[in-house]
């Protein structure tokens, strides 16, 4: 029997992650994020199942190794929160869900784009107050616009397909060689910045991509550009965003992720005093829409995340090797 500690557990996940049909697994749910403060909860566990804001740095991994945890199963695609070198050294296996409905995230990007381009967030509030004035709601068409996609992996590709349907011109930048596609132009990062009306980020967060979008990147963009980030918060320097919004360089900003989201997103903080001044300033702009890391949050994606993760845990317990696409 594999005893699994399921950290950052939310009520909406539990029906998908039931161990009812997996007699080899015993899942214990913890609402807490896994971090150096909460790692004491791992006593007696064989594996931990974690999400995007759990912290698996060297210190946490060393403590996991001491209590006998042998597997870290990420129930997400990104793995920037795990020190993979330390895990390897400590003989802790790490797996993830490499693919689960990229369409879920791509469709959420389009939802952010259309909310901003047609000012749906403002219109929704106006109509609820019987205000049917159109002043200030003038939008723009997506058709004919140039959209730059940074990172042409699974989500980037799904987004390109949707945007081609909207009649957009799609530019992509990615260090990997890309398949020749008639409707997609692969360009250098600088060219993408210079020519895009909308820029959407879909590369992983690594030391190389940290603050990929900073003051210098903004200075190379078109005036009034729209930026969408559904990938990882730290791809964007938030303070530089605020300055670019103030100068109207950045005309629209749609975020599903935020640099300092750990400890804030996925929780109801509506009764708390807001303590993050940068975030408070960010959401004060009328042309900024932020969602709390919900790009992945569709029935289809959750069900795929659960089936892949439960299969990895079961394979590990049965001594089978993990799927090569899941193993890190």
| Site residues for ligand NAI per CB under 6 A | 77-78, 102, 105, 150-156, 173-176, 202-205, 208-209, 230-232, 256-257, 293, 295-296
Cβ-based nearer residue to ligand NAI, 154 or 308? 154
Cβ-based nearer residue to ligand NAI, 19 or 237? 237
**List 75, 169, 202, 232, catalytic entry:** 232
Q: Please give the order of strands across the beta sheet that includes 2-6.
A: 25-29, 2-6, 47-50, 71-74, 93-95
Query: Rounded to the nearest whole angstrom, what is the least distance from the CB of residue 245 to ligand NAI in the complex?
Result: 21
Cα–Cα nearest to 12, from 256, 305, 264, 310: 305
Would you call 232 a catalytic residue per the annotation? yes
What is the rounded distance in angstroms from the CA atom of residue 124 to the CA atom of residue 103?
25
**List 75, 157, 202, 293, catalytic entry:** 293
End-to-end distance of the chain based on CA atoms, in angstroms? 23
Q: Residue 247, exposed/middle/buried by CB under 10 A (0-12, 13-18, 19+)?
A: exposed
Would you call 293 a catalytic residue per the annotation? yes
**List 55, 259, 261, 304, catalytic entry:** 261
Position of minimal CB gap to ligand NAI: 153
Instruction: Report whether 50 contacts 17 (CB < 8 A).
Output: no
Query: Rounded to the nearest whole angstrom, what is the least distance from the CB of residue 131 to ligand NAI in the complex?
Result: 32
**Phi and psi for 104 in degrees, rounded to 5?**
-60, -45
Instruction: Report whether 312 contacts 22 (CB < 8 A).
Output: no
Would you call 96 a catalytic residue per the annotation? no
Can you spell out the DSSP letters for 72-93?
EEESSS--TTB-HHHHHHTT-E
27 has which bridge partners?
4
Residue 128 CB partners (closer than 8 Å, separation 6+): none
Cβ-based nearer residue to ligand NAI, 69 or 212? 212
Query: Rounded to the nearest whole angstrom, what is the least distance from the CB of residue 178 to ligand NAI in the complex?
Result: 8
What is the rounded distance in angstroms from the CA atom of residue 74 to the CA atom of residue 54?
9
How large is the greatest C-alpha to C-alpha distance in the chain, in angstroms? 65
Query: Rounded to the nearest whole angstrom, what is the least distance from the CB of residue 160 to ligand NAI in the complex?
Result: 11
Query: Rounded to the nearest whole angstrom, what is the least distance from the CB of residue 220 to ligand NAI in the complex?
Result: 15
- C-alpha Rg value of the chain to the nearest Å: 21
Cβ-based nearer residue to ligand NAI, 140 or 297? 297
Query: Rounded to the nearest whole angstrom, what is the least distance from the CB of residue 16 to ligand NAI in the complex?
Result: 15
Cβ-based nearer residue to ligand NAI, 174 or 243? 174
Query: Rounded to the nearest whole angstrom, what is the least distance from the CB of residue 92 to ligand NAI in the complex?
Result: 21
Cα–Cα nearest to 123, from 293, 286, 290: 286
Cβ-based nearer residue to ligand NAI, 175 or 224? 175
> Could you tell me the two tokens for 39?
């790692």
Cβ-based nearer residue to ligand NAI, 151 or 254? 151
Neighbours of 13 (CB within 10 A): 17
Q: H/E element holding 149?
A: strand 146-150
Catalytic center residues: 232, 261, 293
């Amino acid at each position: 029997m594999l005893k699994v500690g399921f950290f950052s557990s939310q009520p909406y996940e539990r029906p998908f992650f039931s161990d009812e049909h997996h007699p080899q697994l015993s899942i214990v749910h913890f609402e807490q994020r896994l971090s150096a403060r909460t790692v004491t909860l791992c006593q007696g566990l064989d594996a931990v199942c974690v999400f995007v804001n759990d912290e698996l740095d060297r210190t946490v991994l060393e403590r996991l190794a001491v209590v006998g945890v042998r597997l870290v199963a990420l129930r997400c695609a990104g793995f920037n929160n795990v020190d993979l070198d330390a895990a390897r050294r400590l003989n802790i296996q790490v797996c993830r869900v490499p693919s689960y409905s990229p369409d879920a995230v791509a469709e959420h990007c389009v939802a952010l784009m259309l909310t901003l381009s047609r000012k749906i967030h403002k219109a929704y509030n106006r109509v609820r107050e019987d205000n049917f004035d159109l002043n200030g709601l003038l939008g723009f068409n997506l058709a004919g616009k140039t959209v730059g996609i940074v990172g042409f992996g699974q989500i980037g590709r799904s987004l390109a397909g949707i945007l081609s349907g909207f009649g957009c011109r799609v530019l992509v930048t990615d260090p990997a060689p890309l398949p020749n596609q008639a409707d997609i132009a692969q360009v250098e990062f600088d060219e993408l910045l210079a020519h895009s009306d909308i820029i959407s980020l879909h590369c992983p967060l690594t030391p190389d991509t940290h603050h990929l979008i900073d003051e210098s990147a903004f200075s190379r963009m078109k005036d009034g550009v729209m930026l969408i980030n559904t990938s990882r918060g730290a791809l964007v320097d938030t303070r530089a965003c605020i300055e670019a919004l103030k100068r109207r360089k950045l005309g629209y900003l749609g975020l599903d992720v935020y640099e300092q989201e750990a400890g804030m997103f996925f929780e109801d903080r509506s009764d708390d005093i807001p303590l993050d001044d940068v975030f408070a300033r960010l959401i004060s702009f009328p042309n900024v829409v932020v969602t709390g890391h919900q790009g992945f949050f569709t029935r289809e994606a959750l069900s795929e995340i659960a089936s892949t993760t439960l299969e990895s845990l079961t394979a590990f317990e049965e001594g089978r090797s993990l799927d090569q696409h899941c193993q890190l």
